[in-house]
């Protein structure tokens, strides 16, 4: 319940504060958001599996975001930023689909 409140408060804060993103970080924000979503769905699935651990969640959340940003940064430096960020999005998307499938099976048994 507290977790759900946290998400709601975050969304509300984002709407109210309208924070400015530094121009250098702008390309990484979408990737970071998708990576964080992946971590959240992974945690959700682990929770339903009964294997959830908040320490693991924190570490995986942060490392997911950092690694995704690092890959995009590297891609930018190598001149394949657009392709690499597309690749990262695809991989994370596949993972999110797999986790959501597991969550669905837990909740709806289908």
Partner 1 sequence: MSTQEPDRESEQVPGAADEDLIVDPAAAVDDSAITVAPTARQRLRRALLHPGPGQIVVAVLLCVLGIAAVTQVRLAGTNDDFAGMRQADLIQALNGLQASSRRTEQDISDLEETRDALRSNNDKTATALAQARNDLDVLGVLAGTLPATGPGVRITVTVPDSNISLNYLLDGIEELRDAGAEAMEINDSVRIVAQTSFEAADGGVNVDGRVLRSPFTIDAIGDPESLRTALNFYGGFVDDIALDEGKVKIEPSKNIEVKVLRTPVRPQFAEPAP
Q: Applying CB under 8 A, which residues contact partner 1?
A: 1-15, 17-19, 21, 26-27, 29-30, 32-33, 36-37, 40, 42-43, 45-54, 56-61, 76, 79, 81-82, 94-95, 98-99, 101-102, 105-107, 109
47 vs 36: CA distance, rounded Å: 16
Q: 66: closest CA among 38, 98, 31, 40?
A: 31
Shortest gap between Cβ of 9 and partner 1 (angstroms)?
A: 5
Shortest gap between Cβ of 84 and partner 1 (angstroms)?
A: 10
3 vs 57: CA distance, rounded Å: 12
Shortest gap between Cβ of 12 and partner 1 (angstroms)?
A: 8
The answer to whether the CB of 38 falls within 8 A of the CB of 96 is yes
């Amino acid at each position: 319940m507290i977790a759900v409140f946290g998400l709601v408060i975050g969304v509300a804060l984002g709407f109210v504060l309208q924070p400015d993103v530094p121009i250098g970080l702008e390309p990484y924000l979408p990737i970071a958001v998708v990576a964080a979503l992946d971590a959240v769905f992974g945690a959700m699935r682990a929770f339903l599996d009964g294997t959830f651990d908040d320490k693991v969640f924190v570490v995986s959340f942060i490392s997911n975001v950092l690694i995704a940003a690092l890959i995009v940064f590297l891609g930018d430096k190598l001149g394949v930023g657009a392709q690499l960020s597309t690749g990262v999005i695809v991989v994370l998307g596949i993972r999110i689909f797999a986790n959501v499938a597991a969550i669905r099976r837990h909740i709806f048994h289908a």
